[in-house]
Amino acid sequence: MQNILKRYFGFDSFRPLQKEVIEKVLEGHDVVVLMPTGGGKSLCYQISALMKDGTAVVVSPLISLMKDQVEGLRANGVPAAALNSLNSEAENVMVRSSCLRGELKLLYISPERLVLEIPYLIRDMKISLFAVDEAHCISQWGHDFRPEYAQLGLLRQTFPEIPIVALTATADRLTREDIQTQLVLSDPVVFISSFDRPNLSLEVKRGFRKKEKDRAILDIINRYPNDCGIIYCLSKKTTESVADMLSVHGIVAVAYHAGLPAEEREKAQDDFIHDRVQVVCATVAFGMGIDKSNVRFVIHYNLPKSIEGFYQEIGRAGRDGLPSETVLFYSLADLVQLSKFAMESGQREINMEKLRRMQEYAESDVCRRRILLNYFGEYTDAHGAGCGNCDVCRNPPSCFDGTVLIQKALSAIVRADEQVSVRTVTDILRGNFSPEVTKGHYDTLKTFGVGRDVPSRDWQDYLMQMLQNGLFEIAYDEGNHLKLTDSGRKVLYKGARMELAVVRREEKTQRKERKLSRLKAVTPLFEKSEMTIGASAAGHKELFEALRALRKKLADAQGFPPYIVMSDKVLQNLCEVRPQTVEAFGLVSGIGDFKKEKYGNDFVEVIRRFS
């Protein structure tokens, strides 16, 4: 097992549970594997396939995923192919005959095709195992439900002796049980790995106005001048406006959403995979078919609808295990809009509950990673140390006695007969003559202007905290008007005291720093930060860039995405080890025999130049 891991994939050790899964498959058990995105699920069935006689048949939901996997395997010298509608008839004939001759170790196939082929091709092949990747597609509870998957129960029926491996990153119990039932698995061994992705940093920026958001996003991207990232937006329109904004600033960015013609979507995805586009601004429609390992940042321009979706989306960063950054922008306006969607949806209770959990993450004043892991059923000691890689851990919030501020706000709400929205309350507190204020004659209230000393955006933040603490509710079905709760009345009338968290104005200090760096002028404006690959490759920066350029050249020559030739992680290993011979090159983690022979000379030549 260890030999095959090194020979084909170039890795020295297994990730958690990989070895255990392979052992069970080799013993002939059915297995269910739950691992987070980037956890290393593919190796579980790929190494099993390499260790057994015959061909492993892998059911995969998307052609782009099959293509990626097949290219990756072939790049490591593993005979693999895919049967799908993108192939020409001639290609498919060739693939079929190599299947029948037993030349392939892995065959990728769509569920529709598989079901058609069971009585023909599949019956005539020598099969080592079945793998069902992205197995949540089978479940009506999974978010990518595909009705065609429902017939996969045929596998167990037709091939009672052949082990089935089901793999997914969707960890909830309902989905898991549905997978087992639908596939008719016989007494499967279930492996659930930790869902923690410690290399992803977590950060929430709340209450940013559009301009501040744009500036913060540019700051993030400028810290990764040579690396790719994704920006998730709530609406199609926003994906386009954000992409336009980035283009204006000289960043190669595209929009991606379901409203674009298929060719345009494919091109965007392809350009991103091949490192021709730096940033994709997308709706949640983007990402399912993408295994790109060198995504360095994922930004949520708007609040997502649920933690499941959010976790899957940020999971697309840092699959190679290198430090990667995730940032969520959270505003009350998003929360109000999403609540409205949830209230109007078919599954009102469920969707509201999911949104509340997402809100809990965004508003947390304890370690954010703990909130995520708790959500997935991994309970950590609430008093234990935090993760150290989220904004709360790095910079714990400080509090002050907010009773008077709260009373001002609640009083404004009550005096306006609880007929006002967050925005109007802010206008009343600040003493702004907005149209709503004049229309409701709120400028005659005693509370008009009592909060002039607090900036609007801080009021937004305090109101958000009051909402979170249950002092008032938002009536989403009544023009988003604010309604006091019993707890709110206690603070307003009964003198209950309450703390508020200090609002952070980090972008102020950032602006100062930026000015400073501009004044210095000798240093380039946008240096890589300590958190990026540049850091661990510190001192190797030039070599890293030279290797990256070589990788791109080799990839383009073969029509591969660069990460198929080598991941960022492997480039970094090369920078650290600096092998001077092809033999030494082959020993570096991530280089298997095939890549050693194929690329050894080229890489060693560049590395020698730097030594």
**Residue ranges in contact with ligand ADP by CB under 6 A:** 11, 14-15, 18, 35, 37-43, 291, 293, 319-320, 567
Judged by beta carbon, residue 238 or residue 567, the one nearer ligand ADP is 567
Tell me the β-bridge partners of 65: none
- Listing DSSP states for 340-387 in one string gives HHHHHSTTHHHHHHHHHHHHHHHH-SS-HHHHHHHHTT----TTS---
The candidate with the shortest Cα–Cα distance to 463, out of 480, 479, 439, is: 480
The count of residues interacting with Mg ion (CB under 5 A) is 1
Q: Which is nearer to ligand ADP, 37 or 180 (CB)?
A: 37
Q: Is the dihedral of CA 498, 501, 502, 503 positive or negative?
A: negative
Report the residue number, 39 or 207, with the smaller CB distance to ligand ADP: 39
If the CB atoms of residues 191 and 544 are measured against ligand ADP, the closer one turns out to be 191
- For 36, list phi and psi in degrees, rounded to 5: -65, 165
User: Which CB, 191 or 224, lies closer to ligand ADP?
Assistant: 191
Measured from the CB of residue 561, what is the shortest distance to ligand ADP in angstroms? 12
Q: How far is the CB of 38 from ligand ADP (least distance, A)?
A: 5
Q: Within a 10 A sphere around the Cβ of 313, how many other Cβ atoms?
A: 22
Partner from Mg ion, ligand ADP, none binding residue 323, C-beta < 5-8 Å depending on class: none
Question: What does 465 interact with, of Mg ion, ligand ADP, none (CB < 5 to 8 A by kind)?
Answer: none
Residue 324 interacts with which of Mg ion, ligand ADP, none, CB < 5 to 8 Å by class? none
Strands 279-282 and 228-232: parallel
With contact defined as beta carbons under 8 Å apart, do 266 and 290 qualify?
A: no
CB nearer to ligand ADP: pick between 91 and 593: 593
**Of these partners, ligand ADP, Mg ion, none, which one is at the site of residue 320 (CB under 5 to 8 Å by kind)?**
ligand ADP
Amino acid at 169: A
What is the closest distance, in whole angstroms, from the C-beta atom of residue 289 to Mg ion in the complex?
11
- Residue 197: CB minimum distance to ligand ADP, A: 10
Minimal CB distance to Mg ion: which residue? 41
Query: Of 41 and 105, which has the nearer Cβ to Mg ion?
Result: 41
Partner in contact with 312, chosen from ligand ADP, Mg ion, none, beta carbon below 5 to 8 Å by kind: none
Taking CB within 5 to 8 Å according to partner kind, which of Mg ion, ligand ADP, none is near residue 35?
ligand ADP
DSSP states of 217-278 as a string? HHHHHHT-TT-EEEEE-SSHHHHHHHHHHHHHTT--EEEE-TTS-HHHHHHHHHHHHTTS-S
**Is residue 125 within 8 Å of 53, Cβ to Cβ?**
no
Q: Footprint of Mg ion on residues 20-49 (CB under 5 A)?
A: 41
Q: Which does 15 bind (CB under 5 to 8 A by kind): Mg ion, ligand ADP, none?
A: ligand ADP
Least distance (Å) between residue 9 CB and ligand ADP: 7
How is residue 86 annotated by DSSP?
T
**What letter would DSSP give residue 14?**
P
Q: What is the binding site for Mg ion (CB under 5 A)?
A: 41
